[in-house]
A and B are shown apart, each in its own frame.
Chain A
Amino acid sequence: MDDNQNPVQLNVSAIRHGTVIDHVDSRATFQVARILQVESEENKVLVGLNLESGNLGLKGIIKIENRRLTAEEANKIALVAPDATLNIIENFRVVKKAKVELPEQIERVVKCYNPRCITNNQPGDTHFKIIGSRPTALRCRYCERVMKGNAILLK
């Protein structure tokens, strides 16, 4: 759809410049919003829930004006919403589009759930290896425990 052709809809659903995170599993939408810390965002943010989507059934969508995501944010999103797509918007048009993908390793952004893990007892970065998808499964590099799906704790 050409957003320029519908100025009334633009006001509520489109952003001039920024990022649209689309195809988020509807149940994970607020998790993604928390990852992006939208509550402290000063620019326009639009959050949609339970929107119809062919593949996902119901999807969520988040639009943030004047912002591009960091790789760290994209990695976090991939952990909770592995089907999400990221769209860079310039002048109301999608100029770049990419699917988030789970990295093979992830550092810092996840907290180990094991209270006896050294990462919960000494200062230092966490480090996980991704060992499965759908549900996402991570193994802590240090204590070697596995976290899956909703049990994954983001820092």
Chain B
Amino acid sequence: MMASFMPDKDLQQMLSFQTLYIGVSPQKGPSLYNIIPMIELLYGVWFIKGGMHTMAISMAKLFEELGGKIHYNANVDKVLTANNKVKGISVNGVEINGDYVICNADFPYAITELIEDDNLRGKYTKEKIEKMEYSCSCLVFYWGVEGEFPELETHKQILKWLQRVIPVSMF
């Protein structure tokens, strides 16, 4: 597909390897993942002071500043339903009711473990979920190294053309 627009193999790799982040071949990846090279090229890749986790801490802080409340160490056991509607959640065995529930847990876990009523899972039955294949994401090494490496920029990518594309990203 990409080769029909760009004959240059390096450019093809640069703009197509991002689906490997989710363990899917560029030939099979959803076009949605074009967002990643688009963002890289238009806005650049940045490193947050203190690391990526600073983003999470800052967003939690913003939410609390807006008046929201975060309950930590609060394990949601179930999403509670009644009359085909979600009515609340069960946290460590305690029922909490709400007008709306938004669940951001991993989908296969949430739909099979948190929803009790088989009829409310729609087409995502336990059998269907169990049959689904998982793809491998990146192989990631965390290296603690001494010194500084000014020749390496944030998110430096080294592409190597073997039989498949092997991207290496430095963060």
Partners in one complex: no
**Which A positions have Cβ atoms within 8 angstroms of B?**
none
